[in-house]
Amino acid sequence: MLKRALARKGLAGFLLAMAPGLRLLADNAIPATSAPAPAAVPSAATALSAINTGDTAFVLISAALVLLMTPGLALFYGGMVRRKNVLATIMQSFMIMAVISVLWVLVGYSLAFGPDIHGLIGSLAWLGLKGVGGAPNPDYAPTIPHLVYMSFQMKFAIITPALIAGAFAERMKFRFFLLFSALWALLIYTPVAHWVWGVGGFIHNWGALDFAGGTVVHILSGVSALTVAVLLGKRKGLGEEDMVPHNMTMVMLGAGLLWFGWFGFNAGSALSAGELAAYAFVNTNTAAAAACLSWVAIEWWVKGAPTALGAASGLVAGLVAITPACGYVTPMSALILGLAVSPICFTAVLLKGRLGYDDSLDAFGVHGVGGTFGALATGLFATKAINAAGGDGLFYGNPGLFLIQLKAVAVVIAFGVLGTIIIYKLVDWILGARVTPREEELGLDLTQHGESGYEL
């Protein structure tokens, strides 16, 4: 049967032939009665009085949790760099919160979610949040104020460019970082957010699934991070000097905050305090725990010792992989995804030395690779039994969804790489991207900010 499937349909046929066994595991967590279909979207007139205070409180809290992820990322990245660069690394994440918050209110939200223009971008109809008020927007979130939905999406726009900073840590000018991040958020992030999540976006119209940002956040930031790392070049002394994390306690604290905040990231994307949020919550925790265990096991076997950095890396890889799938799959599928993503990302991290690029803090190895795996796995494990508004994946008899996911991933990767090259070259021509060798030797804390992270 497998030979006939491979001959007839290649990879898709093979996976479909394997589907019964994998589906048996995944179906273990499907409830006896299928999840009900979501209620019909109310009319604009009805929506004015349709605010649900429970949903509103849930999404507000989720937005706060997602914002907490960026300071968590600051600690996670800050502990991984050398002591002379800790403050500069933390400063990047904090300034991203300020810069993107302002840009989002002024123009970013309108470009990402405003009225559609040919499936490519939102219009400027909501410039400066004009028309974005306390009434719900039935196209996106019919039970919460439009302002709450806008605020929730703002936190995603904040953390995405912050993730990129992990690839070029310890060698970039701060002024370059600010201008590059602002332009990248407006010209790269907002179009992709509209394509995937916006009403009328062309990837959204394909039927591609991305529940909470696997494509929009992790793949896009990961491939952009790799692009910048290659263009910027390696750190001075890489391979000759000791560049191990200077504070693993800080790394573990940051990882814990990321795990905590990720529940807002994923469960909050249900936009309602109901059954779907419960699945997203449980799936998030399950995949994270499984990936942490599998990374530690691999590291223990390969390197002879289970490290704290490995546990943190595996945890984050699991969170990344489940993000696009969390509202579409069963808990057993989430467990499979978590176990599977760690060997993939572990291999990607090991290969960066052989391939000759310096992804300082593994932004591409974890987010780019893990996000790609998660997006494609969504096309395998998604089931309408969990989310009737989603779709059935290849293991539930629909190989077409896997092909749609593959096409969406390819488009986002291509756009992210090309767009990042153009923005990088432009800002490099204006400001120069890299600090001088002397500044890099002294550290970015002193040379970029005139202060030190530690006074010992």
Looking up residue 393, the CATH number of its domain turns out to be 1.10.3430.10
Q: What's the CA gap between 282 and 284, in Å, rounded?
A: 5
User: Tens of pLDDT along the chain (456 residues)?
Assistant: 434 443 444 544 544 455 555 555 555 545 444 344 444 444 444 545 589 999 999 999 999 999 999 999 999 999 999 999 999 999 999 999 999 999 999 999 999 999 999 999 999 999 999 999 999 999 999 999 999 999 999 999 999 999 999 999 999 999 999 999 999 999 999 999 999 999 999 999 999 999 999 999 999 999 999 999 999 999 999 988 889 999 999 999 999 999 999 999 999 999 999 999 999 999 999 999 999 999 999 999 999 999 999 999 999 999 999 999 999 999 999 999 999 999 999 999 999 989 999 999 999 999 999 999 999 999 999 999 999 999 999 999 999 999 999 999 999 999 999 999 999 999 999 999 999 999 999 999 999 999 999 986
Q: What's the CA gap between 345 and 338, in Å, rounded?
A: 11
- Is residue 5 in some structural domain? no
CB distance 189 to 111 below 8 Å:
no
Structural domain boundaries enclosing 324: 53-449
Could you tell me which of 183, 189, 131 has the C-alpha nearest to residue 159?
Answer: 189
CB distance 349 to 403 below 8 Å:
no
- Is residue 335 in some structural domain? yes
Beta bridge partners of 434: 172
pLDDT at 2: 37
- Is residue 42 in some structural domain? no
Task: Write the DSSP assignment of 263-290 as a string of letters.
Answer: HHHHHGGG-SSSHHHHHHHHHHHHHHHH
The SS3 of residue 436 is coil
Q: What is the gyration radius of the CA atoms in the chain, in angstroms?
A: 22
Q: How far is CA 430 from the centre of its chain?
A: 29
- Is residue 36 in some structural domain? no
In three-state form (DSSP H/G/I as H, E/B as E, the rest C), the secondary structure along 288-300 is HHHHHHHHHHHHH
pLDDT at 28: 54
Note the helical H segments in 145-274.
146-164, 174-184, 190-197, 202-206, 220-232, 248-267
CA torsion 310-313-318-320 (nearest 10°) is -170
- Is residue 360 in some structural domain? yes
- Is residue 208 in some structural domain? yes
Specify the DSSP element, H or E, that contains 47. helix 44-47
Supply the angle between the helices 308-322 and 369-381 in degrees, to the nearest 10: 40
pLDDT at 353: 84
What is the distance in angstroms between the CA of the first residue and the CA of the last residue of the chain?
A: 68
CB distance 315 to 259 below 8 Å:
yes
CB distance 219 to 368 below 8 Å:
yes
Structure tokens at 263: 């529940």
pLDDT at 50: 84
233 CB burial (10 A radius; 0-12, 13-18, 19+): middle
CB distance 381 to 321 below 8 Å:
no
CB 25: neighbour CB atoms within 10 A?
A: 15
The SS3 of residue 233 is coil
pLDDT at 6: 38
Domain count, the chain: 1
Q: What's the CA gap between 214 and 164, in Å, rounded?
A: 14
- Is residue 374 in some structural domain? yes
pLDDT at 62: 98
Q: What's the CA gap between 431 and 426, in Å, rounded?
A: 9
- Is residue 23 in some structural domain? no
